[in-house]
């Protein structure tokens, strides 16, 4: 009887204790992994605000987000809105954590797109929307007034580039531009009137090895 009581006493020592604790290392192995949260950037610019077509904005070649000039810390120099001839990396995408910017030489088709884009947006801002513009009265004067901001090429001494603009507009009609003959002469507009689509062709730069 005493032996049975002793046996019951020994068994009662483990009653309600469950299984013995596992080593700490084993417990860590069995712990479910902490989920990794993927943070995706949404919207545009560091400020998170939408685009403003009335000011200069740059498109990052990596994240494809637009950044307002006033939010960029890099000293950009002279620029105009709707430029296509630059390479920009925001500080979030740059390996150094610093913004990088390079303005390239602009081709005349690019300069004409930039000019017409600005003329179109200016007319909207003034409350008198227009899409068609004269080479002599509108496009050439805009390029002449903003030459240094539009390209790295030195300003032409002669006006021979006026003829180059005309050849460009005619050659790229139905490709980049639309032309309508009016009583005031030929009037040119962008073939794609969506101004938000005016941007550097980074894909072409990558294929060409310049990016």
State the CATH number of the domain containing residue 151: 3.90.980.20
Whether 84 and 114 map to the same domain: the answer is no
Count CB neighbours of 179 within 10 A. 16
The DSSP-derived string for 180-202 is: EEETTEEEEEESS--GGG----H
pLDDT digits (tens, 9 = 90+) for 13-44: 434 444 444 444 444 344 443 333 333 456 89
Whether 137 and 204 map to the same domain: the answer is yes
Whether 194 and 117 map to the same domain: the answer is yes
| Per-residue pLDDT, 210 | 84
E strand or H helix at 133: strand 133-134
Evaluate whether residue 197 is within a structural domain.
Answer: yes
The mean predicted confidence, pLDDT, of the chain is: 85
Whether 201 and 146 map to the same domain: the answer is yes
- What is the distance in angstroms between the CA of the first residue and the CA of the last residue of the chain? 92
Alpha helices in the chain (DSSP H): 2-12, 24-30, 108-125, 140-145, 147-150, 161-171, 202-208
E strand or H helix at 178: strand 177-182
Whether 117 and 91 map to the same domain: the answer is no
Percent of the chain topping pLDDT 90: 77
Full residue range of the structural domain in which residue 179 is found? 108-208
Query: Measured between alpha carbons, how far is 181 from 184 in angstroms, rounded to an integer?
Result: 8
Of 46, 92, 89, nearest to 70 by C-alpha is 46
Q: How many domains would you assign to the chain?
A: 2
Domain end, chosen from 43, 72, 103, is at 103
Domain end, chosen from 73, 103, 133, is at 103
Count CB neighbours of 188 within 10 A. 27
Evaluate whether residue 149 is within a structural domain.
Answer: yes
Evaluate whether residue 193 is within a structural domain.
Answer: yes
Whether 200 and 112 map to the same domain: the answer is yes
Query: Measured between alpha carbons, how far is 64 from 74 in angstroms, rounded to an integer?
Result: 18
Contacts of 50 (CB under 8 A, 6+ apart): 43, 44
Whether 185 and 98 map to the same domain: the answer is no
pLDDT at 208 over 70: yes
Contact 85, 104 (CB under 8 A): yes
SS3 call for 161:
helix
Whether 65 and 121 map to the same domain: the answer is no
Whether 91 and 121 map to the same domain: the answer is no
Evaluate whether residue 18 is within a structural domain.
Answer: no
pLDDT digits (tens, 9 = 90+) for 83-106: 999 999 999 999 999 999 999 999
């Amino acid at each position: 009887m005493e032996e049975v009581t002793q046996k019951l006493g020994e068994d009662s020592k483990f009653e309600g204790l469950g299984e013995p604790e596992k080593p700490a290392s084993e417990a860590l192995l069995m712990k479910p992994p902490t989920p990794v949260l993927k943070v995706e950037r949404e919207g545009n610019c560091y400020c998170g605000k939408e685009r403003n077509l009335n000011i200069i904005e740059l498109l990052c070649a990596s994240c494809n987000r637009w950044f307002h000039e006033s939010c960029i810390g890099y000293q950009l120099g002279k620029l105009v809105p709707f430029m296509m001839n630059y390479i920009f990396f925001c500080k979030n995408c740059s390996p150094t954590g610093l913004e990088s910017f390079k303005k390239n030489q602009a081709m005349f088709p690019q300069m004409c797109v930039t000019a017409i884009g600005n003329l179109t947006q200016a007319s909207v801002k003034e409350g008198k929307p227009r899409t068609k513009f004269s080479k002599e009265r509108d496009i050439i004067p805009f390029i002449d007034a903003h030459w240094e901001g539009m390209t790295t090429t030195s300003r032409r001494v002669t006006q021979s580039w006026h003829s180059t603009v005309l050849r460009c507009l005619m050659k790229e009609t139905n490709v980049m531009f639309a032309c309508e003959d009016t009583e005031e002469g030929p009037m040119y507009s962008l073939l794609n009137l969506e101004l938000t689509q005016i941007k550097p062709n980074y894909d072409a730069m990558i294929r060409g090895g310049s990016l």
